[in-house]
């Protein structure tokens, strides 16, 4: 499959701690002044900075979403949560224990049930709002299919007391990432749940018996696992991703980041994020034979940010 005209693509993060600090601080100030209402715009500013300083083959990515779109999403999520809490509150007021139990079950069912819809919405919105050289990314996944995978795996995870959770993570990732498009090129993610399970089993076990020292190797393996199974495909052409980050790199990142956070009481967080992304991205090797000058605009725009905000509200942004 691998032909001889393989090339290595340049990929890096070029943000500067000092500049990003400005973005973060202005966000803080405006968020405090507006009692938190500025939040969606703060998110827009942050994402715009991070995307536009991520560089592929000499050109930057672009986040084209707006605070307004995310504010609408934020209001929808907020409304949903208020309705849920109001239901619980009313049930509690009636002091009818049967009604109360029903409401609590409905509450948690909705909270858990909303997750696959949020994941779907997140990808649709975020990908449509991500572009490079003007060519949009896109998400072509089917909501019903994702919901089915989610509930089937959730059920299996409950039955197996959480063990199947590793397979669930991989099933969701396989489905969502394989439906991401970069113009007319397609991402494919093809990993096995069992491989991920054993990776974690080994990692957690060795981390315990080495009193945490192995965690740097564990993190390296997790990163490798993420990227090893990802490809970008365009007809017969293909691009592969690889993480070259070493346990030493991770150790250095972790320790210095921790020191910065502790000694600046969290104010230096902007510097930590920039350092981390710089290190991480410069250690991602992208090799393949796709002509990145020939990507075509194929993906439509999508403005509904409900999923993006819902994942944020539930602190689940990390699951992507």
Partner 1 sequence: MKLSTSAKYFDGKTSRPYLLDLEVFLGEQISYYFENKRSVWKFQDIKFEKIGDHLIITRKDNLSESLKIDNAEVANTIYQSAKQSRNISWYHTLLDLGPKFYLTATVATFTLIACFYIFIIPWIGEKVTDLMPLSFDEEIGDSSFQQIRSFSNIDEKRSAKLQNFADHIDFGTHRKLNFKVIDDKEINAFALPNGTIVVYTGLLSKIENYEELAALLGHEATHVKERHSTKTLARSLAGYLVVSVVVGDVNGVMTSLADNANQLNNLSFSRAFESSSDLGSYEILKKNKIDPDGMYQLFKTLKTSHDGEIPELLSSHPLTDDRIKFSKSLLDKKEYTFEKNSELENAFKRLKENP
Kindly list the residues in this chain that would bind partner 1 in the complex (CB under 8 A).
14, 18-19, 21-23, 25-26, 28-29, 31-33, 35-36, 39, 42, 45, 52-53, 59-60, 62, 64, 131-136, 183, 261-262, 265-267, 269, 292-297
CA distance 227 to 182: 17
- Least spacing, CB of residue 101 vs partner 1, in Å: 19
- Specify the residue, 168 or 232, whose C-beta has the smaller distance to partner 1: 232
Residue number, 217 or 271, with CB nearest to partner 1: 271
Is the CB of 2 or the CB of 301 nearer to partner 1?
Answer: 301
d(CA 140, CA 55): 25
Q: Which is nearer to partner 1, 109 or 294 (CB)?
A: 294
Q: Can you tell me whether residue 285 is helix, strand or coil?
A: strand
Question: Is 181 strand, coil or helix?
Answer: strand
- For partner 1, the closer of residues 125 and 175 by Cβ is 125
Could you give the CA distance from residue 72 to residue 295 in angstroms, rounded to a whole number? 32
**How many Cα atoms are found within 13 Å in the side-chain-facing hemisphere of 284?**
23
Q: Which is nearer to partner 1, 211 or 265 (CB)?
A: 265
Q: How far apart are CA 62 and CA 84, in angstroms?
A: 36
230 to each of 10, 174, 243, 289, 294, how far by Cα in Å?
17, 9, 11, 15, 21
What angle, rounded to 10 degrees, do the helices at 306-313 and 97-128 form? Answer: 120
State the nearest-atom distance from the C-beta of 193 to partner 1, in Å.
30
Cβ-based neighbour number of residue 109 at 10 Å: 10
Polymer length in residues for the chain: 320
């Amino acid at each position: 499959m691998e032909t001889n005209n393989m090339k290595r693509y340049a990929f890096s993060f070029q943000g500067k701690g000092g500049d990003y600090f400005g973005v973060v601080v202005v966000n803080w100030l405006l968020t405090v002044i507006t009692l938190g209402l500025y939040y969606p715009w703060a998110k827009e500013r942050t994402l715009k900075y991070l995307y536009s300083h991520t560089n592929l083959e000499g050109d930057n990515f672009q986040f084209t979403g707006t605070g307004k779109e995310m504010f609408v999403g934020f209001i929808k999520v907020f409304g949903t949560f208020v309705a849920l809490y109001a239901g619980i509150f009313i049930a509690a007021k009636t002091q009818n224990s049967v009604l109360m139990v029903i409401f609590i079950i409905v509450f948690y069912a909705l909270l858990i049930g909303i997750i696959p819809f949020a994941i779907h919405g997140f990808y649709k919105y975020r990908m449509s709002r991500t572009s490079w050289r003007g060519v949009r990314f896109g998400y072509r996944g089917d909501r019903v299919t994702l919901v089915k995978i989610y509930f089937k795996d959730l059920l299996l995870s409950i039955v197996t007391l959480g063990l199947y959770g590793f397979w669930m993570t991989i099933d969701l990732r396989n489905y969502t990432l394989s439906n991401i498009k970069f113009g007319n090129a397609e991402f494919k993610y093809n990993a096995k749940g069992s491989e991920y399970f054993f990776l974690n089993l080994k990692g957690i076990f060795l981390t315990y018996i080495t009193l945490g020292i192995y965690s740097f190797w564990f993190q390296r393996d997790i990163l490798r696992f993420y990227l090893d199974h990802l490809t970008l495909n365009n007809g017969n052409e293909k691009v592969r991703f690889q993480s070259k980050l070493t346990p030493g790199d991770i150790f250095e990142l972790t320790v210095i980041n921790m020191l910065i956070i502790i000694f600046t009481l969290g104010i230096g967080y902007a510097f930590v994020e920039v350092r981390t992304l710089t290190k991480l991205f410069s250690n991602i090797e992208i090799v393949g034979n796709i002509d990145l000058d020939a990507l075509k605009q194929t993906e439509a725009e999508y403005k509904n940010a409900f999923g993006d905000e819902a994942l944020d509200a539930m602190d689940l942004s990390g699951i992507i």
